[in-house]
Every structure is written in C-alpha cells, then in structure tokens.
C-alpha cells in the first residue's frame, strides 16, 4: 500500500472514529486476527442480545406505549447487527474476503463454512433490517419488529453468537 493511500485511510479513519491501528492491521496484515477488536465486538453483541431479551420480556402493548423502549429496541438491533458485522469482518480477514456490504459479510461467512448457510441467510436479513432502521426508520412497524424478534429473531442472534464465540 502506498504511503499516500495509507495516510488518506488513516485520516479518514480518524474522521469517522476508527482506531488507526485497526485500519493499518486491516490493510497490512490480512492473516492476523485482531483479538481486541473481536473481543470488543463479541461483548457488544452479547450486551445488545441481552438488552433485546430484556425488552422482549415486556408485553407487546406495554412496549408499544413506551417510546424509550421502542427506540432502545431499534438501536439495540442496529448495534447487534453492526457488532455481528465486525465479528464477521475479523473472521473473514483470514480468508482474504473483501465483502462489499453488511449483507455480503454474512453471505461469505456461510459460503466459507464459518457459520451454517441458513444462519448466514437469516443474518443477511438482519443486515437488511438494520438498513431499514437506519435509512427508512419511518417505515418500521414496531409491533412487527417486536414479534419477529420474539418469534425467532433473538434466537438467531444468540445462535450467531454461539457459532462465532
């Protein structure tokens, strides 16, 4: 990698809040697992999954009438997906894969046998949900989000954790 490109990437990383060393490791050492980054992402995912579970213990009508709970659940799902993507990127780095999207991270994890293909497909749908929550939040049906998480979505996140932990 050229010095100019490295400097640009490090500068951009600083703007968006990435740790410079992580960017350098990503581009210069594709076979080294960044255990600190992986540990942090695993902790973030575990925390988000636990928090989602706590919210889902509430009755649906109580959840829907509590704006803070609604927004907290939305954010916890976003954080869970982003942590899962970070985990996937660390694991995929060893294979030399360069996914172009969040969804592709999970697709490649399935193709390479890191997680089962059915789990990869379910996690890819989570990436789509994350995009909806971030980019088209006004279209979110919070009752449906709650029900789908309660009826299997949360277990999908737990299953992902079991496979990558």
Tens digits of per-residue pLDDT, 16-25? 444 434 433 4
Domain enclosing residue 86, as ranges = 33-164
Q: 4 and 39: one domain?
A: no
Domain at 92, CATH number: 1.20.120.580
User: pTM of the entire structure?
Assistant: 0.79
Is residue 52 within 8 Å of 76, Cβ to Cβ?
yes
- Number of domains present in the structure of the chain: 2
Per-residue pLDDT at 127 exceeds 70: yes
C-beta separation of 28 from 10 below 8 A: no
pLDDT at site 158: 98
* Dist. CA 140–CA 151, nearest whole Å: 17
CB 91 within 8 A of CB 109: yes
Per residue in 93-119, pLDDT (tens digit) is 989 999 999 999 999 999 999 999 999
**Same domain for 87 and 106:** yes
Alpha carbon distance 62, 79 (integer Å): 23
Which segment of 6-20, 44-58, 104-118 scores lowest on mean pLDDT?
6-20
Average pLDDT over residues 52-66: 98
């Amino acid at each position: 990698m050229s010095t100019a490109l490295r400097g640009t990437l490090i500068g951009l990383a600083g703007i968006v809040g990435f740790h410079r060393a992580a960017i350098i490791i990503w581009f210069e050492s594709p076979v080294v697992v960044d255990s600190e980054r992986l540990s942090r992402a695993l902790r973030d995912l575990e925390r988000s999954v636990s928090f989602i579970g706590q919210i889902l213990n509430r009755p649906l009508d109580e959840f829907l009438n509590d704006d803070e709970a609604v927004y907290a659940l939305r954010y916890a799902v976003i954080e869970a997906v982003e942590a899962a993507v970070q985990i996937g990127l660390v694991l995929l780095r060893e294979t030399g894969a360069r996914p172009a999207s969040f969804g592709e991270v999970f697709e490649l994890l399935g193709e390479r046998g890191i997680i089962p293909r059915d789990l990869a497909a379910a996690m890819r749908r989570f990436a789509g949900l994350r995009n909806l929550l971030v980019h088209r939040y006004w279209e979110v049906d919070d009752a449906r989000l709650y029900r789908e998480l309660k009826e299997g979505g949360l277990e999908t996140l737990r299953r992902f954790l079991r496979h990558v932990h």
